[in-house]
Amino acid sequence: MKVVSLFSGCGGLDLGFKQAGFDFLWANEFDPKIYPTFAKNFPKVELDTRSITNIKPGEIPNCDGIIGGPPCQSWSAFGKGRGMNDPRGKLINSYIKIIEAKRPKFFLAENVQGILFERHRQSLNKILNAFLNLGYNVNCLSLNASDYGVAQSRKRVFIVGYASSFDEYFFAPEKNRKKMTLKDVIYDLRKNAVSGLKFNKRNPKAKIKNHEYFHGSFSSHYMSRNRVKEWEDTSFTIQASGRHAPCHPDSPKMKKIKKDVCVFESSKTPRRLTIRECATIQSFPKNFKFDYLYLNDGYKMIGNAVPVKVAKKIALQIKKDFLRFDNLPINFKKKGKLIKSF
């Protein structure tokens, strides 16, 4: 099946679909600090680096599916939560217009859990109704990456639509039985980590590509709760920020001394997870290359990505569904139906 990717970022969602056997025709990423990474890892995919607002639907290839993660900052609990009142929040409208023009057999839109907050409920319903009016059966569901082979607790919302003529819905893939731990995925990286250079610039002395960590003091917000997990645990959610990266499991443990105040239990110097460790927790393969000058840009693109294993699980489920739809007619004449799985 042929796919187009919007708001591609560094390509976590894309890589999962590629591993599941989908063919990528075209991708779009506007951020100049991110799209070089996508280009390095997907050299055969046509990459358009213009703003999506400047791209005409006719410039996008016809395809079977459209996937993407419209910017999440306006919906995030860590942002200002302005939703559609933020210009970034309104970019979902560009996504919807492209779906309307291209009419793929399926689409997928990923976003943060914050889009489910009550203050965003009206906006979310408008988004969902727009897809229904285009003739898609839609499931809006929340998935935790830890259920799909990712060593991290990370809940995200996926809105998946199938052409209503199929009279079917996307449902969550079967969960993995085993929970992955930090020891399972990054124990082999516990050595050779290096600090970023002055101003947290990339360190060329890193023996392992991207195995460098953000240095600097820990803010009062950072110290307001535990940031250290044991080797046998799953990771905290990987954030889109070097300053807020979790501590490495070998860092001294933290204890709470009063409300919203924690301290490290020993004088041993703690360190944050490296960019490579964060990427590995996000289930990027070791040979995936991240291109940046400042470390924070590396953390940001990884923290905003869909974990590759989650993307692959979703893609395989879609592929399985469409094997059943192979001989069914495709049209969008009737309004779609909605189910919510959160």
- Co-location of 207 and 88 in the same domain: no
71 band by pLDDT with thresholds 50, 70 and 90: confident
Residue 255, judged by CB atoms within 10 A of its CB (0-12, 13-18, 19+), counts as exposed
Is it the case that residue 72 has pLDDT exceeding 90? no
Section 15-26 average pLDDT? 98
- Co-location of 234 and 124 in the same domain: no
65: domain CATH number? Answer: 3.40.50.150
- Co-location of 275 and 332 in the same domain: no
88 band by pLDDT with thresholds 50, 70 and 90: low
- Residue 3 is predicted with a pLDDT of 98
Cα(18)–Cα(288) distance, rounded to whole angstroms?
Answer: 14
Cα(340)–Cα(69) distance, rounded to whole angstroms?
Answer: 19
- Co-location of 310 and 167 in the same domain: yes
- Co-location of 82 and 208 in the same domain: no
67 band by pLDDT with thresholds 50, 70 and 90: very high
Is it the case that residue 108 has pLDDT exceeding 70? yes
87 band by pLDDT with thresholds 50, 70 and 90: low
* Total number of domains in the chain: 2
- Co-location of 191 and 313 in the same domain: no
pTM of the model: 0.94
- Co-location of 275 and 317 in the same domain: no
- Co-location of 220 and 92 in the same domain: no
- Residue 86 is predicted with a pLDDT of 60
Yes or no: say if 10 and 37 are a contact pair by the CB < 8 Å rule. Answer: yes
- Co-location of 186 and 128 in the same domain: no
- Co-location of 20 and 119 in the same domain: yes
Neighbours of 201 (CB within 10 A): 14
Section 45-51 average pLDDT? 98
- Residue 75 is predicted with a pLDDT of 47
- Co-location of 32 and 146 in the same domain: yes
Is it the case that residue 37 has pLDDT exceeding 80? yes
209-261: pLDDT as tens digits:
999 999 999 999 999 999 999 999 999 999 999 999 999 999 999 999 999 99
Cα three-residue angle 191-38-141, rounded to 5 degrees: 90
Is it the case that residue 146 has pLDDT exceeding 80? yes
Query: Could you confirm whether 72 is annotated as catalytic?
Result: yes
Least confident of 47-61, 80-94, 133-147: 80-94
Report the run of H or E that residue 157 belongs to, with start and end: strand 155-163
Helix (H, G, I), strand (E, B) or coil at 282: coil
Residue 284's nearest CA partner among 268, 296, 295, 298 is: 298
Is it the case that residue 136 has pLDDT exceeding 80? yes
Q: What is the mean pLDDT of the chain?
A: 94
Yes or no: say if 261 and 208 are a contact pair by the CB < 8 Å rule. Answer: no
Query: Which one is catalytic: 10, 72, 140, 247?
Result: 72
Cα(231)–Cα(87) distance, rounded to whole angstroms?
Answer: 40
DSSP H helical ranges for the chain: 12-19, 35-41, 91-102, 121-133, 182-186, 275-281, 295-303, 308-324
Helix (H, G, I), strand (E, B) or coil at 315: helix
- Co-location of 218 and 266 in the same domain: yes
Cα(149)–Cα(181) distance, rounded to whole angstroms?
Answer: 9
84 band by pLDDT with thresholds 50, 70 and 90: low
Is it the case that residue 76 has pLDDT exceeding 60? no
Yes or no: say if 86 and 80 are a contact pair by the CB < 8 Å rule. Answer: yes
Amino acid at 17: F
What range does the domain containing 145 cover?
Answer: 2-174+306-341
279-312: pLDDT as tens digits:
999 999 999 999 999 999 999 999 999 999 999 9
Section 182-189 average pLDDT? 98
317 band by pLDDT with thresholds 50, 70 and 90: very high
Is it the case that residue 62 has pLDDT exceeding 50? yes
Yes or no: say if 75 and 115 are a contact pair by the CB < 8 Å rule. Answer: yes
274: domain CATH number? Answer: 3.90.120.10
Residue 14 to residues 10, 24, 34, 54: CA-CA distances in angstroms? Answer: 9, 8, 14, 22
